[in-house]
Structure 1
Amino acid sequence: MTALCRDCLLRDESLPAACPRCGGRRLLRHPDLARLAIAHVDCDAFFASVEKRDRPELRARPVIVGGGRRGVVSACCYLARIRGVRSAMPMFKALALCPDAEVIRPDLARYSAVSRQIRALMEALTPLVQPLSIDEAVLDLSGTEALHKAPPAAVLAGFALRVEKEIGVTVSVGLAANRLLAKLAVERDKPRGFAVIGAGEAAAVLAPEPVGVLPGVGPVQVRRLQALGFLTLGQLQGLSPRDAAQRLGEEGPRLVARARGEDDRPVRPGREARSVSAETTFDQDLSDSAALEAPLWRMCEKLARRLKAQDLAAGGVVLKLKTAGFAIRSRHARLAAPSRLPDTLFAAVRPLLAREADGTAFRLIGIGAQPLLPGAQADQGDLVDPEAPRRAARWAAVEALRARFGDKAVMRGRSLRR
């Protein structure tokens, strides 16, 4: 099989411009189509798609999912993207670009329910499903052809049709020889896309791409690479491991390998937690240290809950501040021992805030856990801090009271500070 109709799933060695069975033109052609088994599935404009599904009158209108005018865009449909709106964009900028957009507050419970439905369909294809976020996952369909009586490409095309018909949202699929190539493939053909990258063509396909196309290569690293003369992945591909280490540092050889499309990460069932954090945007800018501590404490409590829910612990904390001019400040501190107690998190992040509260007006504050460690390591207590288990027990009791009587049943005084 080197060709597949994505509309009726007809498989053939060669198909004309239109499918002879259904007349469809969404034809997939690739010499490795029958052999590739690693897939990256990404829901198209997921939050906005769920909103449009549930409110058909919005189908032809641009939709932005996000907070108030001082918040940011959580997601937007493709009609809004055509106008320049992007995720994480300040809401006032998004509305300036797209003033006729329908703005909808996020409903994470509803989106999570839809995500679970899609996940169930994935797990019917293979047990090797690794969720990456609420709207994307990577799958390994190696060895499933006998079960499904079809190669992975055909199984995935059928899955995409089923999601669209039964759940009412669309997905895009990247099929490749490894996880990195599958991720890059899915970004090449959205929405309702299906792109394929074989191992043999990976280096040639990636060579003309800018260095920033690689996942994890952010703006700071892009500028650093550009300053060294590396603008495209092809320019990185020619470096030897020794040259890569000398010119790019310890991570240089790995970066060069990824520029060639090499990736040996397996697909591991269960969530791969990349970060856990909590943040809030203020109704009015705040500059006073005491005024900033109240929302920071609430974010510490929220982060503690999220760490517990994912059975993780923080090995350190990251303070995030966004100024009135949208400049980001990020500061990090290690913890003496892994923890997921709000008191411990707050004690570590508070000195970081004190140093940054220099009169600058801030519009957002947040705290993240970095690095993430197994939850079993949290708050075990030692000679330096023997009281950690007792504090953990007290926090568990507070959470139990709140679960029964509401979040305001037990509150710290600092959370009331204006």
Structure 2
Amino acid sequence: MLTPHSTVESTSSPITGLCRDCTTRVDSPKADSKPTRCPGCKSPRLLFHPELFDLGITHIDCDAFFAAIEKRDNPELEDKPVIIGGGQRGVVSTACYIARIRGVKSAMPMFKALKLCPDAIVIKPQMEKYAEAGYQIRDLMKELTPLVQPISIDEAFLDLRGTEKLHGLTPAETILNLVRNIRKTVGITVSVGLSHNKFLAKLSSDLDKPNGFTVIGQSETLERLAPMPVEKIWGVGQAMQKKLSANGIKTIGHLQCLEEAFLLKQYGNVGQHLFRLSRGLDDRIVSPEREAKSISSETTFDKDIADSDSLSKTLWLLSEKVSLRCKKASKG
């Protein structure tokens, strides 16, 4: 049984890690005196974890995806703040990390984003280009396992358990090769979460962005989760966070101290959800891609338009985009 004080690793035990740049296995006779550079390529980007070779559920999230594609296609943008969006009345689709440092966030109104980052280069979204890159990445994933579950155009779960014999590699090594392949083929970086279930894999991928690789092992689950704010739990939005805070529950560790019956009484069915995820319990499987339930296209006008002819022209263009997407979808 897991306890909040589970020991992650014995400092006197040997441990084997991986180089994130060349995937060389790196041995350390003691966990508390790990090497700082790869013996092969001399990279300092080494990955050590006592359960590194035992875990197989992965979440991959592209780093500032739309902005990364634009920077890939125009190297002059590399060191500049880039915002993907459009018009004073539009919203930010995504922003590169330089713009994020200035406080720009996704879904922020453009006028507010430009106040925070007036020197930003604003680029209107080019969804066809982003979709092409997204499908490229998805194809690379499907070469490794049929158990790929896309969450959006730029993120997906993979279940790599049982693929060791197929690839001759552990899931961790397979994922590192995939990350390198995405960088080489598509030209962008991704962040990776590796764990023993979907909730923890997705949580992990967000802990070290951009270009990160985070592992949460089974033996350390409660200990890693305990200090995190409750909003890190999937499904806990602002409203639920306020309810929990009003009851003195601000961290996942606070939830870990409460009985399931109490949480059910206080919050109904959501209480069971909180009880399980606060303990890192998630039995959802990685489900392969499902067909899209809808296909759409939209735009935002800089100013209000009441003229029916102008609106009809815009509607016609949007209809054409939807038609093209439907045709592409029907071809598979």
> Is 1:3 the equivalent of 2:22?
no
Q: Match of 1:251, SS?
A: helix
Q: 2:124 aligns with which of 93, 102, 105?
A: 105
> Is 1:227 the equivalent of 2:241?
no
- Letter of the 1:208 counterpart: P
Shift of 1:297: 12
Q: Give the equivalent residue in structure 1 for 2:133.
A: 114
Q: Match of 2:67, SS?
A: helix
User: Aligned in 2, Cα 1:307/1:71: closer, same or farther, shift over 3 Å?
Assistant: closer
Shift of 1:67: 1.4
Q: Match of 1:20, SS?
A: coil
After TM superposition, the score normalised by the length of structure 2 is 0.84
- Letter of the 2:208 counterpart: D
Q: Point out where structure 1 has 5 or more consecutive residues left out of the alignment.
A: 312-418
CA contact (8 A) 1:279 1:299 kept: no
Q: Give the equivalent residue in structure 1 for 2:152.
A: 133
Distance 2:259 2:313 in 1: 49
Larger radius of gyration: 1
Q: Match of 1:13, SS?
A: strand
CA contact (8 A) 1:131 1:272 kept: no
User: Aligned in 2, Cα 1:149/1:100: closer, same or farther, shift over 3 Å?
Assistant: same
Distance 1:284 1:299 in 2: 14
CA contact (8 A) 2:255 2:275 kept: yes
> Is 1:210 the equivalent of 2:229?
yes
State percent identity of aligned pairs: 53
Alignment map for 1:7-406 (pairs within 5 Å):
7-14=21-28, 16-271=35-290, 281-284=300-303
CA contact (8 A) 1:9 1:157 kept: yes
Q: Point out where structure 2 has 5 or more consecutive residues left out of the alignment.
A: 1-14, 29-33, 327-332
Distance 1:213 1:300 in 2: 40
Q: Give the equivalent residue in structure 1 for 2:10.
A: none
Q: How many residue pairs get matched? A: 306
- Letter of the 2:217 counterpart: G
Q: Deviations over 1:87-116 (max 9, x none)?
A: 101101111111111100000000000111
Q: Deviations over 1:370-398 (max 9, x none)?
A: xxxxxxxxxxxxxxxxxxxxxxxxxxxxx
Distance 1:147 1:221 in 2: 44
Distance 2:242 2:183 in 1: 40
Distance 1:274 1:216 in 2: 22
- Letter of the 1:209 counterpart: M
Distance 2:321 2:198 in 1: 27
User: Aligned in 2, Cα 1:76/1:181: closer, same or farther, shift over 3 Å?
Assistant: same
CA contact (8 A) 1:186 1:195 kept: yes
Shift of 1:280: 5.3
User: Aligned in 2, Cα 1:295/1:208: closer, same or farther, shift over 3 Å?
Assistant: farther
Q: Match of 2:61, SS?
A: strand
Q: Match of 1:130, SS?
A: strand
Distance 1:28 1:154 in 2: 11
CA contact (8 A) 2:38 2:44 kept: yes
Shift of 1:239: 1.8
Distance 2:293 2:255 in 1: 26
Which range moved further: 142-151 or 263-272?
A: 263-272
- Letter of the 2:215 counterpart: V
Q: Match of 1:4, SS?
A: strand
- Letter of the 1:9 counterpart: T
Which range moved further: 212-221 or 27-36?
A: 212-221
Q: Match of 1:2, SS?
A: strand
Q: Match of 2:21, SS?
A: coil
Shift of 1:182: 0.2
CA contact (8 A) 1:70 1:91 kept: yes
Query: Which structure has the higher relative contact order (CA within 8 Å, separation 6+)?
Result: 2
After TM superposition, the score normalised by the length of structure 1 is 0.67
Q: Match of 1:41, SS?
A: strand
Shift of 1:271: 3.8
User: Aligned in 2, Cα 1:267/1:252: closer, same or farther, shift over 3 Å?
Assistant: same
User: Aligned in 2, Cα 1:55/1:248: closer, same or farther, shift over 3 Å?
Assistant: same
Q: Deviations over 1:223-264 (max 9, x none)?
A: 111112111111111222211111122220121111111100
- Letter of the 2:27 counterpart: E
Q: Match of 1:73, SS?
A: coil
User: Aligned in 2, Cα 1:309/1:30: closer, same or farther, shift over 3 Å?
Assistant: farther
CA contact (8 A) 1:43 1:172 kept: yes
Q: Deviations over 1:252-305 (max 9, x none)?
A: 01211111111000001014879988765453469xxxx7xx999999999999
Distance 1:210 1:248 in 2: 18
Distance 1:36 1:199 in 2: 9
User: Aligned in 2, Cα 1:204/1:274: closer, same or farther, shift over 3 Å?
Assistant: farther
